[in-house]
Each structure stands twice: as C-alpha cells, then as structure tokens.
Structure 1
Amino acid sequence: MNITFRPLSELPIGEVSELWNQSFEDYFVLAALPLDRFIGRVANEGLALQHSLACYVDGEAAGLVMNGFREFDGRKLAWNGGTAIKPAFRGKGIGKVMMQRNLQLYEEQGVQQANLEAIAHNEYAIQLYESVGYSQIDRLLIMSTEQPIPDMDDSYEHSYHVALGMAAEAARLPFYNEGEVWQAGIPSLRDGESVAIFDGEDAAGYAIFRRTFSPEGSLTGIILYRLEIAPDRKDSAGVIRAALQEVWQPGDNCRRSAFNIRASNTVLVELLSEMGLATNMEQVLMVREMNLG
C-alpha cells in the first residue's frame, strides 16, 4: 500500500469539496456540504488549502486533512478543521499515517500549539489523536432550545453597565484570550456581536454571539459562542445573567443555541440548563503542544 499526499490547493475546489463529502460518508453527524457552503466554510474558518492535505492510496484519493493557522500573543496556533477517510479505506491504518504527516506539516509551519475537536462518542478518532500526542483538556457542549427564555432582569442584585458592539471589540478587554476553541475565536465571527459587562470602570465579563435572520429580516436564531468572566470575580453568576439577558433578548421568539461551550465553565452550563437549553451533542477538546526545538 503506497500512501502519498498532495496539498489541497493543487486540486480544483469542486474536487476538494467532493473529496470532503465522500470522506465524511456514514459519519456520526451529517457533514456533507454543497459547494457554495463548503467554500464559505473554508473562508469563514480561515482554512489554508495550501497547507491542507489530500491523501492518496495507490494513486486513488482516500481522504483529507484540513488545517487553519492563526497567531495570538506571539504563538502560532493550528486547528485541524476536518480529518476524514472514505469508507472503503477505513480500518487500514491510514488515519495514523495522515495524522503523522499532518504533524510534520505543523512542524514545517512553525506551529507551537495544535487544537482539534472530536465527537465524544467517536472513540476511534479520539484514540487516534491520543496516539499521536493529543490530550483531552475539556468537553464542549452544543445546547439549544426552541422555547421562550425567561426574563433575567430581576435575577441579579448588582447594577451593571452594558456595552454592545461587534465581536472584534471584545479583544480590547484585558482578559480576552483567543483560547483553544477555534470557532469561538474572533476571526471566525467577523459578523458576530459582543456584549461587555462593566462593574463601574472595571470590565467584569463579555459574551460573543451571532444572530440569524430570515430573508424578510425577522430574527430566526441567536447563537452564543463564548461567555467569559474576568479573573477573581465573586459575582460570576450575576455577570453571566446580565450578559445572557442582552444576548438572548427574552422578548423575542426564536431558536437559541450555545455552540461548543466548555463544560468546565460550570456556572454558565448550569445557568443555560436552568434556562431550558438541552445538550444536543458533546465533543472533546484536544490539544497538542508541538515542543519545537
């Protein structure tokens, strides 16, 4: 079995999209995308086709790995934005060869930290990633509700000042950190919005979210991507409630979702559950330090 690789940038974009869809056949979730949405995903997530790989077995396309790269606070970060193998080639050890070649690519690009997510019950994938040095650092929850959200105006005693803005404005806050959850980072949320919570002059917390609308302009959904509290705050529940009051807009009728919320953020997760959001899917967040010499 001869395994070779080519940069995805050497293939026509339609061929890359087709390889993506074929590689994700019979997957745990529906991952297939029409060409226009596939192109949109590549652009929105900052995926680098020139540094992503098509895998060939004896000359036949067998799978792919897609990568994105960012820099934050002087460190180069990489995200595995999709690794998959066509059904006919699964169970042959190809996945490990792909991951080993991908880590070599990261070294060539000077990556210092590599991040990825895997569906929690995809034990094969998790074991594969652990075998090449990734470690689980958290769980990520995808939650949602179609039901109305209760008004929270009277659920916190403190009086906070609220500032609304675009997602990028959250980066001004002294405790903003890009973090390991790629799709919750500001570069992935250019059309996102933010709410910052202030206690007097001090920033107490922030949330980043996105609203979706119908062609007629009606609000159809609100998606929360992250909600962070300033270090050492003793009133975290109150700050979270104040932020969610602005994010959820309880008077509006729409679907509300929380995407890839870290399970370690227990106060937030408990409050979201109290508000009626149920967990639809769970992922594991995995990180590998590259230890470049």
Structure 2
Amino acid sequence: MGSPERQNVEIRRLADCTFRQAVELWNLGFAGYYSDMSTTMEKFVPRLGRESIRPDLSIAVFVDGEPAGFVLVALKTVEGVGIAWNGGTGVSPNHRGKGLAKLLMREAIQAMRESGAATGLLEVVQKNAGAIAAYESSGFRICDGLIGAKRTGAFTVNDLPGGVSDDYRIGRMKPNQLAKLSFFRHETAWSAAWYNQKEAEGIVVTDKEDAVGAYALVRKSYADSGKLQGITLYQCAADRSRTDALPMLHAALAAAFAPFGEDCTRVTDNLSMADPAISEWLEAAGFEKVYTQHLMIVQLN
C-alpha cells in the first residue's frame, strides 16, 4: 500500500463505523463540492438501502482518529453477474491533495473484487479532473458521457424536433424486457440501469412490420390529486443499423415526454450522450443542461 503524506492512517470498512461517523465522513468528504451534497442521519441511512450500498464493502479512512475519506460500494447480481458501483467518493478538505483518493480507490477496487463482481462502474462530474485521475489510477476508464437536463412547462407538437410521425406505433414493455433488445445499451449509469428502475415504464417504437427500432425508459410521478408532476427519462436509444434510426429516436423521445400539454417538470437522469442526436433533440426542445458527467467502468476479472 502506498504512503501518502500522512500519519496514523487507519482503513476500515464502513460496517465497522458508527452511523454518526458515516454521516460525518460523507459531509466532510463532499464539503465544497459543486453542489450541496450534505446529508443527515435520517437521509443517509435510507440511502444505503435504496442504492444497494454494502457497508461491509464500503471503505472509510481515518487520519489520527479523525474521519478523512470514504468510498461507498454498492453491489447487485444481475442475471447471475455481479455489478459493483462506486456510490460516492469523498476526502475531507484537510486531507485533499495527499494521495488519499488514490488509496481509497485501490481499497475499493479490492473490495469489489472480493465481492465477486465482474464489473465496477461510477459517474463523475466531467470537470472534476482530480477525481477522474484517481479513478483512472485504479483502472477505471471513461466509456460514455451523461447528461442531466430539465424543461418546465407544457409542450406543443411544434416544439418537438422532428414532430410526431404517423409512421410508427408506440408500445410498452417492462424494463427487463427492454434489456433483451439487440441494441439495448447495457453500459449505463447506476441510477439509469433497468435493474434499478424496475417500476419504471418501458416505451418501444415499432414500424409497420412490428419491428422495434427504438426504446425509452421513463418514470412518471403524480400528485395526490392524480395530476402529472414530473417525467424522468433514464434511457433512450435507437437501432443504429436502421436507415430510419433518427426518426425512430425522435419518436421515442416524444413518447417519453408525452403528454405534451401537461404542465409538469421533465428531466433526464444521467442519460447517455453516446448518440449526439439525443443532446441535439433536447436542446431544440428547450431543455436546459443541468450537469454533465462521465460514465467510467472497470473490469474486475
């Protein structure tokens, strides 16, 4: 193990820390971050279960007995294959720039391997060069760009790039059914993965021969009154082998954010930017970019 400039460094698993220490690690680690990431005990504990965080695999570092840094590690088995996720990495301001992030990542990779996971993934803000370097030092590689975008208010058909085509039909599938499509994107952000959005709605676009040419994965939220409050788009892709891939993609995006007349908030959550046509459609439709991230992946075996 390397020796960053520090003394009395103790590495623990999060399972060996108190809840108070875990919350303190989180808040110190994200102090001064790009957005307010502070949490409380009441918010942090449910987060562990909601995001499948494993305290026995997650890493905590203490320097001279004080909380100094952490990596949260989540684990899921999907169709017999283990997938690990870095659910957050942070280093206290007093200990940044001393090599702790790289040490934490080496320990986290070891924990992921111990779990039997075949793949590890994470998302990182694109302008966070220091974090990207630490992740790359442990074997992670950038494989995609991700976008969070937002639009508030009703649509009209004229607002939709490409309009609404009568050449295609819109159908529904469960998220696990979408994953069987030959052109389904399996390399996705943790929050956008089908196995973490089993209650979401799968939308498919079919041609006149009932061949599926595009899909979307969305979740809708409603007020107690039943009014539509929001639509979140997690995934959208078209079969690029088709000559009509672009209009099919447009049809999937339009279906994802319908009904257009509803005055609600429409957002994307870590949506893949692998197809530039998606970002172009969002911009033309009046969505504002909220954030961009990298999706990074490491092969563990």
TM-score of the superposed pair, with normalisation by structure 2? 0.87
Deviation at 1:159, TM superposition (A): 2.1
1:173-192 paired onto structure 2 within 5 Å? 173-192=181-200
2:228 is matched with which residue: 219, 234, 240?
Answer: 219
* 1:41 paired residue number: 47
Answering whether residue 31 of structure 2 is matched by residue 25 of structure 1, we say: yes
Deviation at 1:254, TM superposition (A): 0.8
Distance 1:57 1:192 in 2: 43
1:117-136 paired onto structure 2 within 5 Å? 117-136=123-142
**Unaligned runs of at least 5 residues, structure 2:** 1-6
Distance 1:141 1:222 in 2: 15
Deviation at 1:174, TM superposition (A): 4.2
Residue identity in the other structure for 1:289: Q
Deviation at 1:270, TM superposition (A): 1.0
Residue identity in the other structure for 2:222: F
* 2:88 paired residue number: 82
Distance 2:37 2:66 in 1: 22
Distance 1:174 1:54 in 2: 40
* 1:264 paired residue number: 274
* 2:4 paired residue number: none
Q: Report runs of 4+ in structure 1 exceeding 6 Å deviation.
A: none
- State the SS of the aligned residue for 1:51: coil
* 2:205 paired residue number: 197
Aligned length: 291
Deviation at 1:140, TM superposition (A): 1.2
Identity of counterpart residues, as a percentage? 28
* 2:246 paired residue number: 237
1:132-175 deviations in whole A, cap 9, x for unaligned? Answer: 22222222111111243332598254522222354344234344
2:265 is matched with which residue: 249, 255, 264?
Answer: 255
1:157-195 deviations in whole A, cap 9, x for unaligned? Answer: 452222235434423434434324211112222332221
Deviation at 1:203, TM superposition (A): 1.7
Distance 1:101 1:154 in 2: 49
Residue identity in the other structure for 1:256: R
**Unaligned runs of at least 5 residues, structure 1:** none
Distance 1:37 1:217 in 2: 27
CA RMSD of aligned residues (A): 2.3
8 A contact 2:238–2:246 mirrored in 1: no
Deviation at 1:66, TM superposition (A): 0.5
8 A contact 1:46–1:188 mirrored in 2: no
TM-score of the superposed pair, with normalisation by structure 1? 0.89
